[in-house]
Amino acid sequence: MTEPNSKSAIVPLTRIDRKTCAPYVRPKAVTEEIEATLALPLHDAFALASSGRLRPQTLVYLMRNFRPNRSNPAYDGLVVAFYSRLERSGDRLMSWMTETQREMVQAEVATKVAEWFHDDRMDIFEFGFRIGAERLFLTAISKVRRQTVFEVAQESLVGSESEMTGEEAADSLGRHHAGSERPLAEVRAELLEIQDKLNHNEKLAVVYVEQMGMTEKEAAHLIGCSSRNVRYLMESVRAKARGESKRARSSVRESVK
């Protein structure tokens, strides 16, 4: 392992910011803190970062650039501190989720971080730790949401003394809320077909604006585009939904004939 010193050049960020189409740039305060930290003995630098006394961006820099060739308790403390900060950043975003969903999201995030770390793609965390964490968690939440939004146990819809089966209750509930005689399973299938037609940014726009109640400006910041583009994304989503619904109704009419 290489010992840092005051003459060490800070490794530049090279990944591209999707919003500006330019390489990520560390904030000046972060660069200055990294320079000051590199003047310390390695063990002291690790201890400061692990204790939470340095910015998380500095912690990430140390993690990326001073990985040991063998087990090192001081370095392991850095990794633990990083994941602890990352989890705290996601707690607010997952407050509405069930415990099972939260565990699924955390597993997705851990897997993605491992991939990024292995491929040295952690620039976003040094550019802005909170932005990087939010993007990571919101993407994972979106994925888990799509997987679990329709996975409600039918048995939970009926009481222990009910004469209806869970499937009958589900279909009845679907007809009641939809104002039609269409089975709930058919409605669910249509929604899944609509989701399959959405591109990545359209799915993110739906999660941020419709499911999380964000403004177009807030969603635009996380997606990396303008507020106007978010508006266009939502209009595209609605158009695709109308088209899929129309196609489904046409299919039903044809089957009746």
142 is a domain residue: yes
203 is a domain residue: yes
182 is a domain residue: no
User: Within this chain, do residues 101 and 205 fall inside the same structural domain, yes or no?
Assistant: no
User: Within this chain, do residues 217 and 139 fall inside the same structural domain, yes or no?
Assistant: no
Task: For the beta carbon of residue 67, count every other beta carbon within 10 angstroms.
Answer: 13
Average pLDDT in the chain: 78
Q: Give yes or no for residue 184 having a pLDDT over 60.
A: no
Mean pLDDT of the region 4-27: 78
Mean pLDDT of the region 18-42: 91
41 is a domain residue: yes
Worst-scoring range by mean pLDDT, 51-60, 91-100, 166-175? 166-175
User: Within this chain, do residues 139 and 202 fall inside the same structural domain, yes or no?
Assistant: no
Per-residue confidence at 62, pLDDT binned at 50, 70, 90? very high
Per-residue confidence at 126, pLDDT binned at 50, 70, 90? very high
User: Within this chain, do residues 129 and 218 fall inside the same structural domain, yes or no?
Assistant: no
- Residue 23 forms beta bridges with which residues? 16
User: Within this chain, do residues 36 and 117 fall inside the same structural domain, yes or no?
Assistant: yes
**Distances, alpha carbon 71 to alpha carbons 67, 76, 77, in Å:** 10, 8, 11
User: Within this chain, do residues 97 and 216 fall inside the same structural domain, yes or no?
Assistant: no
160 is a domain residue: no
User: Within this chain, do residues 26 and 140 fall inside the same structural domain, yes or no?
Assistant: yes
Residues of the chain with pLDDT > 70: what percent? Answer: 73
157 is a domain residue: no
- Long-range interactions of 238-246: CB distance < 8 A, separation 24+: 240/194, 240/197, 240/198, 240/202, 241/194, 244/190, 244/193, 244/194, 244/197, 245/190, 245/194
User: Within this chain, do residues 209 and 117 fall inside the same structural domain, yes or no?
Assistant: no
Burial readout 205-236 (b: 16 or more C-beta within 10 A, e: otherwise): bbbbbeebebebeebbbbbbbeeebbeebbeb
214 is a domain residue: yes
Question: Where a domain ends, among 107, 129, 148?
Answer: 148
Domain residue limits at 101: 16-148
pTM, whole model, 2 decimals?
0.57
Question: Where a domain ends, among 148, 166, 183?
Answer: 148
Q: What CA dihedral angle connects 215, 129, 229 and 101, to 10 degrees?
A: -60
**Distances, alpha carbon 29 to alpha carbons 74, 105, 130, in Å:** 25, 32, 15
Worst-scoring range by mean pLDDT, 132-141, 203-212, 234-243, 247-256? 247-256
User: Within this chain, do residues 120 and 237 fall inside the same structural domain, yes or no?
Assistant: no
Mean pLDDT of the region 10-23: 86
Residues of the chain with pLDDT > 90: what percent? Answer: 37
- Domain count of the fold of the chain: 2
Q: Give yes or no for residue 24 having a pLDDT over 70.
A: yes
Kindly state the tokens that stand for 176.
């009641």
Helix segments in the chain, DSSP class H: 28-38, 42-50, 56-65, 73-91, 99-118, 123-127, 129-148, 166-178, 184-196, 200-205, 216-223, 227-256
User: Within this chain, do residues 129 and 241 fall inside the same structural domain, yes or no?
Assistant: no
User: Within this chain, do residues 124 and 229 fall inside the same structural domain, yes or no?
Assistant: no
Q: Give yes or no for residue 180 having a pLDDT over 90.
A: no
Kindly state the tokens that stand for 253.
């009419």
User: Within this chain, do residues 140 and 216 fall inside the same structural domain, yes or no?
Assistant: no
